Amino acid sequence: MTADQHDDQRARRDGVATFDLVTVRRFADLAVEALAAAREEVDALNVYPVPDGDTGTNMFLTVEAAREALLAQLEESPEDLRGAIRAYAHGALLGARGNSGVILSQLVGALVRRIGRAGPGDRSAAVFADGMRLAVDAAYDAVGTPVEGTILTVARAAAEAAAVAVEEPGTRLGAVVHAAVRASREALGHTPEQLPVLARAGVVDAGGRGLCVVLAAMESAVTGEHTVAPQHVLGSPHLPVATLPTGDLTADGPAYEVMYLLAADDAAVPALRAELAPLGDSLVVVGGDGLWNVHVHVDDVGAAIEAGIRAGTPRRVEVVHFAEQVERARAGRAGRSGRSGPADDDREGRAVLALALGPGLAALFREAGAQVLEVTTTRRPSSADLLRAVLDCPAEEVVVLPNHAGTVAVAEAAAHEAAQRGRRVVVVPTRAQVQGIAALAVHEPGRSLDNDVVHMTDAARGARHGALTVATEPAMTTAGPCAPGDVLGAVQGDFVIVGEDLFEVATGVLERLLGTGGELVTLVAGAEAGDLAQACEHWVGHTHPGVDVLVLAGGQEHYPLLVSVE
């Protein structure tokens, strides 16, 4: 177990697991983590229906919004399983983005709602299988013209496998989920045989791949296991978008993507679908109980919005011009560094946005000239939070320092969204606060953006980092078991020491970091560190003469000391 995983430590679930609150929360976390890790891969697979390179990002944003809604509900009612499930489904509906994200929201929404209706006498395996069936039925119903070789095909294969597996006497939940995951991966491998555009590009379906990631997260949440997908699925060869034959991908399709939330009576939706269907393609309308998420590709944007007005009250209307979006995707994948699009204002220059863990670190980053978004150890920012912070930066170019391993992918998703709005944003993948300090120390706005980012990235990578925290619950770490009150020492995100004394563990961490050499040690003292940083400064001076030491007052909670060695 890594240091970043410690706060969210969960017991592994075996094959007899049920869908309790721990499992649901674990699934919500794992789905976000897994799609964050797979986001760029899924984006790169995105050639259908439009090669705009955002399927992975849209699916990530969908499950992230669902988790945020679940967490907000749990803050109000920590023990309310049904309320948490309703919040998750509602959050997915509100946060759904793009064609695959909207379909995914319908799939996961129908599945988790079935789980929420389960009674004490229901078998969890049967509930999951029935939920998958309902999810697939709902997704096919929501799509105006279902196309095989897509996320729908993959979902149906998973549901059919679950239905077969659950018929075996005594089959446990874990075995049914395993069967669904295996079938989804097999179906994904066959998608190029069903959809010619995939075969021509040499890829599997992006939305189907994203769904496989989500189902694998469910598998891990239920069983504690994670099976590796076949190589032909994980690493399907594909051409960069810059070389794809765009004539048969975009020229014959509609020019715009229109999305909006719609407050409307359920009875008005069939007529809405009938009115939108002739306007274009990729029509998906999901939701219920008076709230709907509408997605369609059209040439006549006004007609699509007017149809929503006749059915109810549209809000959060978003319109994307495919030609511009595809060109941005091409430029990004080809590695070109021009501006992502037209600026939406008169901003000039470059800003650095640093995520700071506590007021002391926030002050340090501000003194160094950065814009700051303060975070806590218990609640990390969502991509929506980061997007707002990026858009608020008074500069044309923005460099983001996430300063936390689990926030790097969130920052990259926010940067992708900002690029769609004409902002140029680059994420330097800093995985610790001290790496952010090192990166900011070499920031030079007079350089070109690319050159500046290279220097900042090199500085961050050259800063080996460690940390001290105190265990709040029993756990098994990579350094062995710990009990509440034990001092945990981490190096590069992994626990390496479990001890009882802050100073002894701190010097153990320092010794490991200095074992491969170093010229500068930075010690960032936490809110309750006392004189620990000063004691460590003296220790370095005595045991490693010639190494410079910089002591900073970070004021962070839960981490008495943060350390870097450069």
Q: Can you give the pLDDT at residue 333?
A: 46
Mean pLDDT of the chain: 84
Cα–Cα distance for residue pair 274/278, rounded to 1 Å: 8
- Greater model confidence, 487 or 239: 487
Do 312 and 305 touch, CB atoms closer than 8 A? no
Our measurement of the distance from residue 395's CA atom to the centroid of its chain's CA atoms, rounded to an integer in Å, reads: 26
Find the range with the poorest average confidence among 125-129, 175-179, 383-387.
383-387
Write the pLDDT tens digit of every residue in 279-316. 988 898 988 888 999 999 998 888 999 999 999 999 88
Written as six digits, the tokens of 534 are: 């000063």
- Greater model confidence, 211 or 200: 211
Do 556 and 548 touch, CB atoms closer than 8 A? no
The strand order across the sheet containing 256-263 reads 280-288, 291-298, 256-263, 313-321
The H-or-E segment that residue 399 falls in is strand 397-401
Q: Can you give the pLDDT at residue 359?
A: 85
Q: Can you give the pLDDT at residue 52?
A: 65
Q: Can you give the pLDDT at residue 119?
A: 82
Q: Can you give the pLDDT at residue 66?
A: 93
Residues 364-384 have a mean pLDDT of 87
Cα–Cα distance for residue pair 527/532, rounded to 1 Å: 11
Q: Can you give the pLDDT at residue 226?
A: 67
Cα–Cα distance for residue pair 398/418, rounded to 1 Å: 10
Q: Is residue 373 over pLDDT 70?
A: yes
Least Cα distance to 1 among 433, 473, 432, 376 occurs for: 473
Do 82 and 48 touch, CB atoms closer than 8 A? no
Written as six digits, the tokens of 107 are: 């799939």
Confidence class of residue 445 from pLDDT cuts 50, 70 and 90? confident
Q: Can you give the pLDDT at residue 334?
A: 45
Q: Can you give the pLDDT at residue 255?
A: 83
Written as six digits, the tokens of 491 are: 């190096």
Give residues with Cβ within 8 angstroms of 551, minimum separation 6: 523, 525, 533, 534, 537
Cα–Cα distance for residue pair 272/307, rounded to 1 Å: 6
Q: Strand pairing of 464-470 and 487-491?
A: antiparallel
Our measurement of the distance from residue 272's CA atom to the centroid of its chain's CA atoms, rounded to an integer in Å, reads: 32
Q: Which amino acid is present at 15? A: G
The H-or-E segment that residue 31 falls in is helix 21-45
Residues 435-464 have a mean pLDDT of 90
Q: Can you give the pLDDT at residue 272?
A: 94
The angle, 0 to 180 degrees and rounded to 10, between the axes of the packed helices 206-223 and 151-166 is: 30
- Greater model confidence, 49 or 476: 476
Percent of the chain with pLDDT over 70: 87
Bridge partners of 294? 260, 285
Q: Can you give the pLDDT at residue 43?
A: 87
Q: What is the DSSP string of 243-272?
A: GS-THHHHTTS-SEEEEEEEE--GGGHHHH
Q: Which amino acid is present at 256? A: Y
Cα–Cα distance for residue pair 132/125, rounded to 1 Å: 11
Other C-beta atoms lying within 10 Å of the C-beta of residue 212: 28
Residues 233-251 have a mean pLDDT of 40
How far apart, in Å, are the Cα atoms of 476 and each of 128, 472, 493, 504?
A: 30, 12, 15, 21
- Residue 346: half-sphere exposure toward Cβ, Cα within 13 Å: 0
Confidence class of residue 186 from pLDDT cuts 50, 70 and 90? very high
Write the pLDDT tens digit of every residue in 96-133. 888 888 999 999 989 988 988 888 788 899 999 999 99
Q: Can you give the pLDDT at residue 4?
A: 46
Find the range with the poorest average confidence among 23-32, 235-244, 463-472.
235-244
Q: Strand pairing of 291-298 and 280-288?
A: antiparallel
What does the chain come to in residues? 566
Write the pLDDT tens digit of every residue in 142-166. 888 888 999 999 999 999 999 999 9
Find tokens 């995951």 and name the residue: 181
Residues 53-82 have a mean pLDDT of 89
Q: Is residue 14 over pLDDT 70?
A: no
Confidence class of residue 241 from pLDDT cuts 50, 70 and 90? very low
Other C-beta atoms lying within 10 Å of the C-beta of residue 479: 18
Do 79 and 114 touch, CB atoms closer than 8 A? no
- Greater model confidence, 347 or 63: 63
Q: Residue 288 class from Cβ within 10 Å (0-12 exposed, 13-18 middle, 19+ buried)?
A: middle
Write the pLDDT tens digit of every residue in 477-532. 888 899 999 999 999 988 999 999 999 999 999 999 998 888 999 999 988 878 99
All domains of the chain in start order, with CATH: 3-239 (1.25.40.340), 243-336 (3.30.70), 350-461 (3.40.50.10170), 464-565 (3.30.1180.10)
Bridge partners of 537? none
Find tokens 């994420």 and name the residue: 427
The angle, 0 to 180 degrees and rounded to 10, between the axes of the packed helices 449-461 and 433-441 is: 130
